[in-house]
Chain A
Amino acid sequence: MELPRLQPLYEQYKDQGFEVIAVEAKRDTERAKKFIEEKGLTYTMLENAEEDAEIVGSMFKVRSFPSSFLIDRDGKVMYFHLGFEAGDEEHIEEEIKTLL
């Protein structure tokens, strides 16, 4: 999912217990900060750690971007999504509503 498309979902469902955590994979800090500010993203934004401590590739084995995991209240990974087709957010919203 493209990050700006997640912002309205976050605003709509955060009071029901929905969070978004976006991890920037390449530590392109300046461009990331500019993007976050320009697009007005208010959910949790983190930077991947460097080298051995990095989590994107080694822990989550993510190779393609954007990739998203949807995690339920018990910490179970219930859904995976790759890419950014138009209309994806409707599908992911259905999944979020099912889990809330």
Chain B
Amino acid sequence: MSRKTTILALVVLVGLAGACAKQEQTSPAEEAWSELVEAWNGLETAEDKAALAENYLAEFPDTEHSGSMAGMVVYYRGHEMEDPQGAYDVVASIFEQIEDPEQRFEVGMEMLSLADSVEVPLELAEVADNLAAERPLTYGEHQQVVEAAADLEEWSIVAAHAGAATGLATPEAYQADYPDREFTDEDLAERAQRREATSLAYDGWAAYNMGDTEPAFARYAAADDIGSVSYLGVPNTPLNTFWGRSALGEGDFDAAIELLGAEAAFGNDGSGAEVYLREAYAAQNGNEEGFDEFLWATRNELATTVDDFTLLDYEGNEISMADVSTGKVTLLAFWFPT
């Protein structure tokens, strides 16, 4: 989960860069920030990027960029350079200097994201409560707490924040989070549904881990009723992973295999669904023999056939997917330049 958060953080950084480049330079911190943004695009290595972010944090620990810079340090030093302790030490050294509750929250969450490899004395509940004392948390902030708490297996925190997040999973709240963007009603409804299904899935998973089996399965069923699915026709939330793992825990191997199979088949993962699917498969069949063939068959059975589409290339020619890919193996990649 922290990986996905990092991807978003990178996009946010670029967004900030665009906004800041147009502003008048008003303070040394902002001036240094403009220089950082300019230098950033020329950097190739994780070492250089980590160093740039660390220098900025050391000089200007308490700015509106503290959270995103801490994110860069965690990503580049912590993950890419595989030095989580070093990343933690850098961020922890400036944490106490941050006064703004929103930045404290962001930086604190970055520190906690390292908790699986580093000793983090910070209490997640404290980080969340500190911001909540200032103003109500947004959906996104509740969800950040939920994901961190699930990683830390702090189930009562997961339950509390997932419950609050479910209440905020409305089209109106989604629009309020992105005041400058225009959405169709349909689009807003779909995004709100995805949020609601996600929060319900986590709420169910917390309940299951606290021994409340029946309420857990009721929440999974409620999340399933919302019907939030990806292009592949499988939930675009962690529902199947949590539901499947709960079914596995109850010894319902058929259900576990069906739920985890849909999740693991296309590799749209990070959830570890395949590990638990393998476990369920072995439990049902007595051993793991034939698992790879089974996974392959599941994939074939569930696979969507892609619809053709036509778009323009950069010379203005109309190109259809079928023109390029009929009879071929095709990687269809969606991107945007940064």
Contact = CB atoms under 8 A, between A and B. Distances in A.
Contacts of B80: 86
B7 interface: yes
Contacts of A68: 331-334
Contacts of B11: 65
A63 B301 CA distance: 25
Contacts of B326: 75
B313 A61 contact: no
B149 to A, nearest CB: 22
A60 B38 CA distance: 34
A25 B334 contact: yes
Contacts of B135: none
Contact of B321 (A21, A70, A73): A21
Interface residues of B, number: 42
Interface in B230-265: 230-232, 236
Interface string B289-318: 000000000011001111101011110000
Contact of A23 (B231, B299, B334): B334
Nearest to A92: B331
B196 to A, nearest CB: 16
Contacts of A6: 331, 333
Interface in A47-91: 47-49, 55-57, 59-62, 64-86
B306 A77 contact: yes
Which of A3, A25, A64, A80 has the largest number of chain B CB atoms within 10 A? A80
Given A64-B4, A77-B304, A25 B335 contact: yes
A44 B303 contact: no
Contacts of A92: 331
Contacts of A99: 329
A46 B313 contact: yes
Nearest to B46: A86
B327 interface: yes
Which of A48, A75, A79, A82 has the largest number of chain B CB atoms within 10 A? A75
Contacts of B305: 74-77
A47 B314 contact: yes
Interface string A6-20: 100100010001111
Nearest to A69: B332
Contact of A65 (B231, B307, B312, B336): B336
A43 to B, nearest CB: 9
Contacts of A62: 231, 334
A19 B328 contact: yes
B319 interface: yes
Pick the 6 closest A-B CB pairs, nearest first: A76-B303, A80-B268, A31-B337, A46-B311, A26-B336, A68-B333
Interface of B: 3-4, 7-8, 11, 80, 187, 230-232, 236, 266-268, 299-300, 303-307, 309, 311-314, 319, 321, 324-337
Interface of A: 1, 3, 6, 9, 13, 17-26, 28-29, 31-36, 44-49, 55-57, 59-62, 64-86, 92, 95-96, 99-100
7 contacts: A34-B337, A75-B325, A76-B304, A78-B299, A80-B232, A81-B267, A83-B3
